[in-house]
């Protein structure tokens, strides 16, 4: 069931109440700049309510409705407002009590560009508008894919928007859902006030027993009509009214990596191009995420890994383990510094020895008289780029050829290079030696003085 009511002044249009629907008071009063997208926001939230069948929307510009007697009939309030709203001290207390006692409060875009003279409001919503240095197309990173609906949008998307920055805002008080991809904007543009590169675009928080959601998006009408934005907003509204659950505890702790391993276990060193596993604690703000496409991104769920100050491509991130690929241009015989960043907080450097090869056999198969092996850590491949999958039919070979033993007998390697269409995976083709009885086949590789794990191929 769905009901939409639109209130302008004292005029009301709409059908009767929907049985069992959660009620949201959508406040669109503009005491400052009035956005052209205000009425589009009403239509967008109407569409969301119709799809869910769980919401009843009452849109209003009438601030007199913000009283305890009216709010007791609602489950959440959602602001798309601006300027200094004229509210009595009692109305302000009523709104704060409404949220503290277990209801929801949401806001979009200029909901932080309002009520500057009421500090408790800024504390509740999480911060205040501090300028919009960019109005352009830019990328956004999903930082908390565990929030309902956001995993499908991860690792992020691009949109044309007026991007805000904030003051009186801290990660210590909110859980960030989405941030600006700063690689897609000019951080030296006029009006950029933040120096930490941290531009949150959506967050949630607990406020007393209640729930708060805010997104900086919403300046343009096209934003409200964007299916991706509506997906985020739909789940946020359902979370605000208690129909969905999510962890709203603040993130932002400093990552603590304690070891760099291969995918098979500890190693004394790591070769250029290797897939590594960074082990530790608090390596993300709490979420886990895998790369869903290639090239692999350099940031997932707000986490990135830097080697000698350069971001490297990520395969997956989780609080206790991050998997990534090392660059192919690292210099063997040196020690590289690895750091893990969660949002704007960096770990201490972890020293990592770079070696020519650190072979790890992952899987294998036998077809006729041919042994096919997949591995990582086989070192430099001329022309290869970390995070990028070689195209189908390519033959990107390693600089050196490994020695291969099968059931103790030497085997002739006919190809060693990157496996087409796979990131960071090497392929070894070899002829089964005549003296190797099997199956099964016990396989081991030696390369540049390093010996791999043993792999049984059946």
DSSP 212-254: EEEES--SSHHHHH-HHHHHHHHHHHHHHTTSS----S---PP
What is residue 4's predicted lDDT score, i.e. its pLDDT?
40
> 7-28: b or e for each residue (b if 16 or more CB lie within 10 Å)?
beeeeeeeeeebeebbbbbbbb
- Architecture of the domain delimited by 360-457: Sandwich (2.60)
Distance CA 415, CA 139 (A): 40
Distance CA 357, CA 332 (A): 9
Contacts of 456 (CB under 8 A, 6+ apart): 440, 441, 442, 443
Is the pTM here over 0.75, yes or no? yes
Evaluate whether 256-353 and 360-457 have a shared fold: yes
Distance CA 192, CA 130 (A): 9
What is residue 246's predicted lDDT score, i.e. its pLDDT?
96
What is residue 74's predicted lDDT score, i.e. its pLDDT?
98
What is residue 457's predicted lDDT score, i.e. its pLDDT?
96
Distance CA 282, CA 293 (A): 25
Rounded to 5 degrees, φ, ψ at 254 are -75, 130
CATH annotation of 3-240: 3.40.50.880
- Architecture of the domain delimited by 256-353: Sandwich (2.60)
Question: If we measure between CA atoms, which residue out of 445, 371, 370, 366 comes closest to residue 404?
Answer: 445
Asked if residues 122 and 128 have their Cβ atoms less than 8 Å apart, the reply is yes
Distance CA 431, CA 305 (A): 39
What is residue 18's predicted lDDT score, i.e. its pLDDT?
59
Asked if residues 71 and 96 have their Cβ atoms less than 8 Å apart, the reply is no
Asked if residues 348 and 258 have their Cβ atoms less than 8 Å apart, the reply is no
Question: If we measure between CA atoms, which residue out of 327, 421, 335 comes closest to residue 381?
Answer: 327
H-type alpha helices, 312-373: none
Q: pLDDT averaged over the chain?
A: 94
Could you tell me the strand order of the sheet in which 175-180 lies? 11-14, 3-8, 55-60, 22-27, 76-79, 104-108, 210-215, 200-207, 175-180, 134-142, 156-163
Residue 151 three-state SS: helix
Tokens, residue 301: 């769920």
Cis amide prior to 295 (ω within 30 degrees): yes
Distance CA 188, CA 256 (A): 31
H-type alpha helices, 32-88: 38-52, 68-71
Asked if residues 83 and 33 have their Cβ atoms less than 8 Å apart, the reply is yes
Rounded to 5 degrees, φ, ψ at 47 are -60, -40
In the chain, which residues have pLDDT < 50?
1-17
Residue 60 three-state SS: strand
What is residue 13's predicted lDDT score, i.e. its pLDDT?
34
CB-neighbour burial class of residue 66 (10 A; exposed 0-12, middle 13-18, buried 19+): buried
Question: If we measure between CA atoms, which residue out of 280, 216, 276, 231 comes closest to residue 254?
Answer: 280
Task: Give the tens place of pLDDT for each residue, 302-339.
Answer: 999 999 999 999 999 999 999 999 999 999 999 999 99
Distance CA 82, CA 79 (A): 9
Domain residues of the chain, as ranges? Answer: 3-240, 256-353, 360-457
Residue 40 three-state SS: helix
CB-neighbour burial class of residue 77 (10 A; exposed 0-12, middle 13-18, buried 19+): buried
* CA dihedral for 304, 308, 310, 312, sign (positive or negative): negative
What is residue 441's predicted lDDT score, i.e. its pLDDT?
95
What is residue 6's predicted lDDT score, i.e. its pLDDT?
44
Task: Give the tens place of pLDDT for each residue, 336-360.
Answer: 999 999 999 999 999 999 999 999 9
Which residue has 């396989």 as its token pair?
443
What is residue 8's predicted lDDT score, i.e. its pLDDT?
42
Asked if residues 401 and 413 have their Cβ atoms less than 8 Å apart, the reply is yes
Residue 346 three-state SS: strand
């Amino acid at each position: 069931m769905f009901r939409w009511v639109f209130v302008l002044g004292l005029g009301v249009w709409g059908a009767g109440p929907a049985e069992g629907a959660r009620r949201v008071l959508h406040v669109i009063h503009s005491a400052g700049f009035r956005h052209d997208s205000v009425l589009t926001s009403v239509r967008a939230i109407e569409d969301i309510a119709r799809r869910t069948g769980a919401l009843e929307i009452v849109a209003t510009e009438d601030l007199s409705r913000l009283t305890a007697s009216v709010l007791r009939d609602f489950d959440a309030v959602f602001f798309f407002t601006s300027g200094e709203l004229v509210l009595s001290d009692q109305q302000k207390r009523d709104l704060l009590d409404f949220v503290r006692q277990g209801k929801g409060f949401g806001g979009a875009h200029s909901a932080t560009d309002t009520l500057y003279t009421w500090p408790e409001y800024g504390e509740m919503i999480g911060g205040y508008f501090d300028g919009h240095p960019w109005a352009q197309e830019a990328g956004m990173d999903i930082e908390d894919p565990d929030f309902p609906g956001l995993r499908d949008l991860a690792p992020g998307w691009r949109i044309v928007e007026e991007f805000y920055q904030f003051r009186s805002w801290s990660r210590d008080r909110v859980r960030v859902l989405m941030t600006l991809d700063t690689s897609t904007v000019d951080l030296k543009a006029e009006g950029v006030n933040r120096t930490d590169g941290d531009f949150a675009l959506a967050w949630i928080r607990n406020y007393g027993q209640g729930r708060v959601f805010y997104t900086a998006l919403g300046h343009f009408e096209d934003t409200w009509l964007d299916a991706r934005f509506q997906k985020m907003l739909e789940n946020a509204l359902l979370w605000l009214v208690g129909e969905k659950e999510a962890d709203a505890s603040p993130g932002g702790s400093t990552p603590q990596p304690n070891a760099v391993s291969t995918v098979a276990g500890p190693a004394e060193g790591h070769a250029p191009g290797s897939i590594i596993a960074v082990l530790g604690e608090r390596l993300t703000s709490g979420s886990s995420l895998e790369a869903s496409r290639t090239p692999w991104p350099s940031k997932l769920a707000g986490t990135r890994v830097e080697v000698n100050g350069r971001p490297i491509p990520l395969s997956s991130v989780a609080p206790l383990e991050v998997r990534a690929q090392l660059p192919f241009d690292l210099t063997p015989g040196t020690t590289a510094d690895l750091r893990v960043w969660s949002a704007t907080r960096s770990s201490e450097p972890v020293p990592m020895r770079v070696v020519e090869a650190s072979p790890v056999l992952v899987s294998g198969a036998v077809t006729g008289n041919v042994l096919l092996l997949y591995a990582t850590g086989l070192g430099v491949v001329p022309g290869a780029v970390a995070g990028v999958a070689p195209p189908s039919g390519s033959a990107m070979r390693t600089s050196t050829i490994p020695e291969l033993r099968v059931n103790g007998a030497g085997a002739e390697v006919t190809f060693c290079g990157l496996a087409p269409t796979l990131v960071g995976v090497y392929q070894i083709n070899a002829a089964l030696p005549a003296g190797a009885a099997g199956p099964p086949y016990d396989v081991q590789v030696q390369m540049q003085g390093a010996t791999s794990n043993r792999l049984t191929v059946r």
